Structure 1
Amino acid sequence: MNQFSLKGKTALITGAVYGIGFAIAESLAEAGATIVFNDRSQEGLDRGLKAYREKDIQAHGYLCDVTDETAVENMIGQIKEEVGSIDILVNNAGIIKRIPMIEMSAADFRQVIDIDLNGPFIVSKAVIPQMIENGGGKIINICSMMSELGRETVSAYAAAKGGLKMLTRNIASEYGKYNIQCNGIGPGYIATPQTAPLREKQPDGSRHPFDQFIIAKTPAERWGTTADLQGPAVFLASPASDFVNGHILYVDGGILAYIGKQPE
């Protein structure tokens, strides 16, 4: 038996149009899972379907806002009818707003909390009954190093990801008896198109100051890649992790274990 096989499983990865979510979906598909994803805009949905086709992955896309409880319930019902019961849920959809706390409106704070914390609650709540009925399931919440650390300008994001860490542990506590494992992945700083400007060489050939900061704080002395998250995702989605529950797996190159380099 291949403990890492996902053959015959249906995996819903929220917001998996590009970046981390797409890479995780790609790895689950390679392990044998049928991929389902959502986006809150038709443009995003079309972009995602095109990206999956280019990778020869037959993905099923649904238009849905994860903060809309009724829409999520309808989507989950539609997926069950059209694709099959969801065996694996990856709560990936999220946003970040980099605004100093005293300059941030309560509306902006609420929006981040709504998508990054209420969204995983709403989608998990809709999927868990199917998992109970099917005798088990896997939920993977995409947490963050900000589930453990604070940093300037990310008060809402850190609050949401800290809450998501505890939601992960509570789902494990409440539904572990139904053979449901709920774990999290906490990515470190990942090289994506969105972070590319922070890694550009300066006119004098030196690293960008933020790039220098990350390299100095990371024992691996590099940024992570989306590929670094694929193995951990397959592990947490597969039978190999059947006795792993309520755990946050930080894929950060060692940042959280490291105090940083002494200044020269």
Structure 2
Amino acid sequence: MQSTSRFRHMIVSIALPALAPASAFAATDAALLPRNLSPWGMFVSANIVVKAVMIGLACASLVTWTVWLAKSVELRRKSALARQRTRALEGNMKLAEAAERAGDAHDAVAQLIQSCAREAELSGGVHDDGLQARVALRLERVEAAMSRQIARGTGVLATIGATAPFVGLFGTVWGIMNSFIGISESHTTSLAVVAPGIAEALLATALGLVAAIPAVVIYNHLVRGIANYRALLGDASAQLMLIVSRQRDHRDFRLARAAE
């Protein structure tokens, strides 16, 4: 019996030193693990540089959705008005009547009409080939100005879509670098040391994709809408050129009948 009890004491004396480091590492792991692994918790515990990256990406995402809302409303309103004025020009309408209907409006088609009427007025009522060339030049310039105006702000979406993934990648690299620095300072390869930093780094990458993907999709959508709007302006310019051509032909016909 005495030999058995001595044997047990020897086993305990040998096992305790071996188990003590494991229990100490387990306690250290539990202490190093963050209490909150939610996105907000990882943001709060992130490095200041990673926080700045996340805040910048969140602001970029907010800008993306703001531009989408503002440009969608603007495109819908201006396209509807352009269709309405273009349909009115398709009737048997003279240039003076079209200018009177447009009045002092500032929409794109109204400015096309006003520019065309202004050139006809400056020409002194002489409807010749030179007038048609000058009107075409004026309409082209107005179309270009209106196209630049409607496309204003969409370049921000292209910039966000192109740079947001790289900004998120920068936050990822910085977070992983800090994780390895933590491993070096703690002299341990425990997962509890490296896991929080990697999680924060991957969150930065996720936010970069969240900002970039909608920006690219919305940019392509707005580009298609702007192209349709430009086509409407092209249709309006064509109708105005037809009106000028018809008035010139009618005037030449009246002059020919008078000469007979």
TM-score (norm 1): 0.22
Q: TM-score, normalised by structure 2?
A: 0.23
Structure number having the greater helix percentage: 2
